Amino acid sequence: MQSKTSSSELRPHACFNAGLFRRDLSRFWPLWAVYAAVWLLALPMTQFAQLFGNSAQHFTAPQLAGNAIQSMMSISCDLGVWGGAIFGCMFAMALFSYLCSPRAVGMMHAFPIRREGLFWTNFLSGAVVLLAGQVLAFGLTAVMQGAAGILVWKYLLESLAAAAGTMFFFYSFACFCAMFTGQILAIPVFFAALNVLAAGVNYLVQNLLSQFLYGYSASGSPAWVIWLTPVWKLNRTLGVDGPWNDEIQTYEKLSISGLSAVAVYAAAGAALMILALVIYRRRRSEAAGDTVTVCWAKPLFRFGCGLCCGLSLGQLLYELLWTEFRSSGQSSLPAAAACMALAGLVGYYAAEMLLRKSFRVFRTGWKCAAAVAALLILLTVGIRVDAAGVENWVPSADSVASLDFSISGNSGLSGTLTDPESIRKFLSVHQTLIGEKTIQRQRGMENSLSEDTGYEYGYLSLNYTMKNGGCVSRNYSFYYTPEELQNPNSAAARAAALASEPDVQWAGLLNGTDQKTVEQNLTAGEMSWYDGQGNYQSTGFDQKTACTVFAALKKDVKAGRMGSYYFGGGNWQEEVYANNVSLYYSTGEDGRINTVSFQIPTDCTDLVDLLKKSGVDTPAHPLITQAQLDKLNDTGKDGTALSATAAVKG
Amino acid sequence: MIEVNKLVKRFDGFAALDGAALTVPDGSVYGLVGPNGAGKSTLIRHLTGIYRQDEGAILVGGEPVWENPALKARIGSIPDDWYYFLQASIRDMMRFYRSFYPRFSMERYEKLKEVFAIDERRTIRRLSKGMQKQAAFWLTMCCLPDYLILDEPVDGLDPVMRRQVWSLVMSDVAERGTTVLVSSHNLRELEDVCDHVGIMDHGKVLLERSLEQLQDNMVKLQVVFPDGMTEVPPELPVLHASKIGRIHTLIMRMSAEEATERLAQYAPLLVDAVPLTLEEIFIYELGGVNYAVKDIVL
Amino acid sequence: MISLNYRDSRPIYEQIRDELRKLIVTGAIGKDEKLPSVRSLATELAINPNTIQRAYNELEAEGYICSVPGKGSFASGDTGADDARRKELMNKVRELLRELRYLGVTEAELLGLIKGGAER
């Protein structure tokens, strides 16, 4: 006599259990509700406000469409990244919380379901909610946009794809992290740490390098570091693209850029999902409550904590201790190594305490701790002796896509260059500077110790953007004597020569903007002049004049008539007019005004003639050199405006 | 049949199970006894497929338990700390169990509702520990398991409920041939319900016997020897001997009949065979193992 | 039907066996009357059915009951029962007699007891 069973419709499947799925959905409904609310507020509500709210009447129909779609796309991207990181982590924590409690894991793993079934059912619950929230929000958005008549499915689906892809990646990543720990609060910590690990370590190592290596600057990041920091990469590449149409004052043909990066991350998410399952199967039930559950991850955790702590706290310690003692530019290897080793030990033992859940960890494991300390010391020494040859490394001309430079001596210029010839010239100066590094270090120390060394200061900053997407940056401070400028092989002389190169000067004038952009967007210009009573006034000129001035300027620069006054030498008081000429041009939709400003050497005949002809240089407001100005100030009897001729002649 | 062969399980170097082996015949009730820390709960978690052993084999009904949903569906287990969802009522947990166990019987569920007399809609969290245990029993029995693994099952139940629960379990054993493994501290209770007993300590099963074997192979005799004999004859194989006045109490490892026969040759004035309790049997069985048996007895 | 004394140190199966035997001997379970099933006794007393089965087996060996497969166990009423059982009981009586003699009970009193007890 068998009892009647009534559950035949719920046969346990190998990979999925409907009861568990339903349970997940009902158990954590507040979390799902908050998530859905965030999406609903972010998309349909804002769309509603934009399309049908009070402000809508101020815009034309195409403007409404442009604004609404741009806002939809940009919100999808931002929420996809930040919402994905936050909610992905919280979902993973909720759904796999049972793995952190021995009682709960005892029940779940005793049930007649394979580990795969548990994993997939729980994972799917989170994924379904993630997607459902988005589909709901976008569905309502479609309704709004449809009602307003601006619905274009392509834009909507692109936005949905961007949001869904990024959220899926972060959720899978969080689930992956959840497999490695049996402490619920360790999940967000691991998740956050792994997200920024590459960028963090990169920054720390670069900081260390910049302490010891001549010219090294910590502001460059290789492409792979950026890829391994998803929030950074996605923030950079994911965005809304679309030209601004000035006539109708709105965007046209909007699209989301960076969808390929999203696809890469989504694929990575799928891989992480599979890996999470693999780890789950290997993970032992008794690991609930442990900080790290998988045995091969424990040494990784220990060493990782030790090294990261060493690099971060160690450098902090070094900064705190050594700043008092050191003079700028001087660094101490023993102090740095000692600080890093000590901090490394602290990190290692802290990790060990977390793993063993006890404070008594010092007796065993000292060998590994010593290894960590040794590694850090080795790293510091290696950096100091530049074992990797980073200090001497100069990129090859073929691998550089563009260069943002800044040269200065007495005054400076900075700009962007993309043509290979100029880049090669810079690379050669770069090389020379490296050759002088020992001398420069010495001079740097002398300079910081005493005021009067007789050295002049020069500065060269190089930011190479590589063809593979990474960027390398170097900042060189160098000291030179005026005699050195005569020696064509010295770095200072070479830098000075570089500053006189027409292409370089032209790039410096444009300061990063494209030449065509400037040409086509010039609006006006003005010139400053000295009124003899201690004030500088300015006189403006119109767009047409500005264009001609620009053309003449270009001619003079390319002909090399701008001269070389950046590094001492030359007689600039007599050879350059003190007046400042500015040309204004606008870029982009926010109507920002940029300037090209310069002073005119007397040799620039084209420019001078043009200015005279266009009525900018008149006796009322003349072009005047500094020497003449000085004489004026010395010999001027009264404060009245002088005749230009008299001033010029005198 | 439940078979455990040379099971080894280490936690961070400490061997919680060190070559444990036991056999539970089909349809029997096996009592697993041992002091705290013996490894009973660890062994049970292996039987239910929660832990995976480092070495050794576990076979239930001839198949390994690990990751075997078809087999696990026929195993019911009640751990000493039963887990339930925070806001769940018994009814909620019933639905959850029903989705996992294909044999779950609603008929039995309704019947047992009368027996346990707990409101199925109350949040389990608000029930007393004893009632929570009853709820665990309620739901597990509804799954109609072929194998029942119980870890300190009646701990915390009042005597009436204890009897009720055992009655339920025994009924299943009689009717459906359920095989039961019970772990407990309490030998007195197990004496009623078990027909096989195994004793565990330090991760090993030291001894395992059927109740019959135990009871038939040991006897306590109260003997008065004739005048002239003050001491027990040395050639008698005695596990333990004590004396009060002229009455000797002898424990011998043989059946009562055999013992009486052996003693007859000494023409004793009085020979009285007294049955031993399970506790006493264990004490004397393990006396030879140099073992601090007093830990087991409550 | 049967009650167990938990403080009795005898094994359970012995208690059940003895109780059932008493019921049969005193006629509470008549000839060919069906005994309670193993299952129902196990449920009622909350003890192991195998233990109960053992008691039944021993009663059957002693000849007090006989089991019919599929139907259950019945009191056999066959008083030509076990030799061993007879011996056992005789020994017990012998012991009792010894004690009674020690206490000074006369033979006449004992004979009177036997005569009286034999009548139902």
B7: CATH: 3.40.50.300
Asked if residue B67 and residue B206 are part of one domain, the reply reads yes
Between CA A478 and CA C13 the distance in angstroms is 103
The winner for highest mean pLDDT among A319-328, A408-417, A630-639, B120-129 is B120-129
Q: Testing the interface with C: which of B167, B168, B170, B251 to mutate, by most C Cβ within 10 A?
A: B170
Tokens describing residue A336: 């740095």
Residue in B49, B96, B102 nearest the CB of A12? B102
Element holding B62 (H helix, E strand):
none
Q: Is the pair B, A in contact (3+ CB pairs within 8 Å)?
A: yes
Handedness of CA A553, A558, A561, A565 (dihedral sign): positive
Which residues form the domain of B40? 2-210
pLDDT at A325: 64
Written as one string, the DSSP assignment of A447-461 is: HHH-S----EEEEEE
- Residue A324 CB neighbours (<10 A): 6
- Helices vs strands, H then E, count in chain A: 25, 12
Element holding B261 (H helix, E strand):
helix B256-264
Checking if the pLDDT of B16 tops 90, the result is: yes
Element holding A203 (H helix, E strand):
helix A186-212
Chain B residue numbers with beta carbons less than 8 Å from the beta carbon of C11 are: 211, 215, 275
Collect contacts of A21-30 with beta carbons under 8 A, ≥24 apart: A21/A121, A21/A124, A21/A125, A22/B99, A23/B85, A23/B96, A24/A95, A24/A121, A24/A122, A24/A125, A24/A126, A25/A125, A25/A129, A27/B85, A27/B87, A28/A94, A28/A95
Task: For chain B, give the percent of residues with pLDDT over 90.
Answer: 50
Task: For chain C, give the percent of residues with pLDDT over 70.
Answer: 88
CB contact under 8 Å between A11 and B102, yes or no, is yes
Angle at A405 between CA A402 and CA A408, to 5 degrees: 165
Hey, is A160 helix, strand or coil? Answer: helix
B216 at interface of C, judged by CB pairs closer than 8 A: no
List Cβ neighbours of A423 (8 Å cut-off, separation of 6 or more).
Answer: A397, A400, A402, A403, A417
Compute the count of residue pairs across chains A and B with CB atoms less than 8 Å apart. Answer: 100
C43 at interface of B, judged by CB pairs closer than 8 A: yes
Chain C residue numbers with beta carbons less than 8 Å from the beta carbon of B193 are: 46-48
Compute the count of residue pairs across chains B and C with CB atoms less than 8 Å apart. Answer: 57
Look at A188-192, A479-483, B191-195 and tell me which has the smallest mean pLDDT. A479-483
DSSP state of B293: G
Chain B residue numbers with beta carbons less than 8 Å from the beta carbon of A31 are: none
Q: Which residue has the higher pLDDT, B210 or A169?
A: A169
Helix axis angle, A115-148 to A61-78, nearest 10°:
170
Between CA C78 and CA C58 the distance in angstroms is 15
Between CA A386 and CA A373 the distance in angstroms is 19
Between CA B219 and CA B259 the distance in angstroms is 8
Look at B37-46, B83-92, B286-295 and tell me which has the smallest mean pLDDT. B286-295
Nearest CA in chain C to B257: C88
Strand partners for A99: none
Chain B residue numbers with beta carbons less than 8 Å from the beta carbon of C39 are: 171, 174-175
Furthest CA-CA distance within chain B: 76
Other chains touching B, judged by 3 or more CB pairs under 8 Å: A, C
Between CA B23 and CA B2 the distance in angstroms is 6
CATH of the domain at B262: 3.30.70
Hey, is A241 helix, strand or coil? Answer: strand
Residues in chain C: 120
CA distance A308 to chain B (A): 27
Read off the pLDDT of residues A363-380 as tens digits, 9 standing for 90 and up: 777 888 888 888 888 888
Tokens describing residue A250: 């709105």
List Cβ neighbours of B239 (8 Å cut-off, separation of 6 or more).
Answer: B218, B251, B252, B253, B284, B287, B288
CB contact under 8 Å between B277 and C14, yes or no, is no
Asked if residue B284 and residue B174 are part of one domain, the reply reads no
CA distance B80 to chain A (A): 10
ipTM: 0.88
Asked if residue B84 and residue B116 are part of one domain, the reply reads yes
Between CA A343 and CA B183 the distance in angstroms is 50
Between CA A290 and CA B49 the distance in angstroms is 20
Domain ranges of chain A: 17-203+222-286, 300-384, 397-505, 513-649
Q: Is the pair B, C in contact (3+ CB pairs within 8 Å)?
A: yes
Asked if residue B170 and residue B72 are part of one domain, the reply reads yes
CA distance A350 to chain B (A): 19
Tokens describing residue A596: 């090209």
Find how far residue A38's CA is from the centre of its chain.
28
CB contact under 8 Å between B194 and C54, yes or no, is no
pLDDT at A7: 37
Chain A residue numbers with beta carbons less than 8 Å from the beta carbon of B67 are: 114-115
Strand partners for B64: B59
Helix, strand, coil proportions of chain C in percent (round to 5)? 55, 10, 35
CB contact under 8 Å between B45 and A113, yes or no, is no
C5 at interface of B, judged by CB pairs closer than 8 A: no
For tokens 């078990």, the residue is B194
Read off the pLDDT of residues A453-475 as tens digits, 9 standing for 90 and up: 778 888 888 888 888 777 888 88
B195 at interface of C, judged by CB pairs closer than 8 A: yes
CB contact under 8 Å between B70 and A112, yes or no, is yes
The winner for highest mean pLDDT among A17-31, A629-643, C38-52 is A17-31
* Tally of CA atoms within 13 A in the half-sphere of A241 that contains its CB: 9
CB contact under 8 Å between B276 and C47, yes or no, is no
Checking if the pLDDT of C50 tops 60, the result is: yes
pLDDT at A283: 92
Chain B residue numbers with beta carbons less than 8 Å from the beta carbon of A101 are: 83
Whole-number average pLDDT of chain C: 81
CA distance C16 to chain B (A): 12
CB contact under 8 Å between B174 and C43, yes or no, is yes
Read off the pLDDT of residues A76-103 as tens digits, 9 standing for 90 and up: 999 999 999 999 999 999 999 999 999 9
CB contact under 8 Å between A285 and B106, yes or no, is no
Q: Which of B1, B3, B12, B2 is nearest to B54 (CA)?
A: B12
Tokens describing residue C103: 């206490």
Read off the pLDDT of residues A101-143 as tens digits, 9 standing for 90 and up: 999 999 999 999 999 999 999 999 999 999 999 999 999 999 9
Asked if residue B85 and residue B108 are part of one domain, the reply reads yes
CB contact under 8 Å between A112 and B69, yes or no, is yes
CB contact under 8 Å between B163 and C46, yes or no, is yes
Please give the model's pTM, rounded to 2 decimal places. Answer: 0.82
Residue in B100, B105, B106 nearest the CB of A12? B100
Asked if residue B174 and residue B237 are part of one domain, the reply reads no
CB A604 within 8 A of CB A576: no
Chain A residue numbers with beta carbons less than 8 Å from the beta carbon of B95 are: 19
- Residue B2 CB neighbours (<10 A): 22
Asked if residue B126 and residue B180 are part of one domain, the reply reads yes
CB contact under 8 Å between B83 and A106, yes or no, is yes
Asked if residue B68 and residue B55 are part of one domain, the reply reads yes
Q: Which pLDDT band, with edges at 50, 70 and 90, does A640 fall under?
A: very low
Checking if the pLDDT of A552 tops 50, the result is: yes
**Alpha helices, H only, A283-401:** 297-325, 333-356, 366-384
CB contact under 8 Å between B211 and C39, yes or no, is no
**β-pairing verdict for A576-587 and A522-530:** antiparallel
The winner for highest mean pLDDT among A269-278, A322-331, C9-18 is A269-278
C12 at interface of B, judged by CB pairs closer than 8 A: yes
Nearest CA in chain C to B215: C11
The CA R_g of chain B, rounded to the nearest whole Å, is 23
Read off the pLDDT of residues A297-308 as tens digits, 9 standing for 90 and up: 999 999 999 999
Residue in C14, C43, C47 nearest the CB of B192? C47
Look at A114-118, A243-247, A558-562, B196-200 and tell me which has the smallest mean pLDDT. A243-247
CB contact under 8 Å between C49 and B174, yes or no, is yes
CB contact under 8 Å between C47 and B28, yes or no, is no
**β-pairing verdict for B270-274 and B204-210:** unpaired
- Residue A396 CB neighbours (<10 A): 9
Chain C residue numbers with beta carbons less than 8 Å from the beta carbon of B275 are: 9-11, 14
Asked if residue B218 and residue B115 are part of one domain, the reply reads no
Tokens describing residue A229: 């920091």
Helix axis angle, A84-95 to A186-212, nearest 10°:
130
Between CA A340 and CA A447 the distance in angstroms is 29
Residue in B49, B99, B102 nearest the CB of A110? B49
B276 at interface of C, judged by CB pairs closer than 8 A: yes
User: For residue C56, which amino acid is it?
Assistant: Y
CB contact under 8 Å between C39 and B171, yes or no, is yes
CA dihedral A77, A78, A84, A85 (to 10 degrees): 140
Name the domain boundary from B192, B210, B228.
B210
Domains identified in chain B, total number: 2
Name the domain boundary from B210, B228, B247.
B210
CB contact under 8 Å between A112 and B104, yes or no, is no
Q: Which pLDDT band, with edges at 50, 70 and 90, does A217 fall under?
A: confident
pLDDT at B20: 93
Strand partners for B251: B220, B240
Q: Which residue has the higher pLDDT, A34 or A5?
A: A34
Checking if the pLDDT of A352 tops 50, the result is: yes
CB contact under 8 Å between B72 and A112, yes or no, is yes
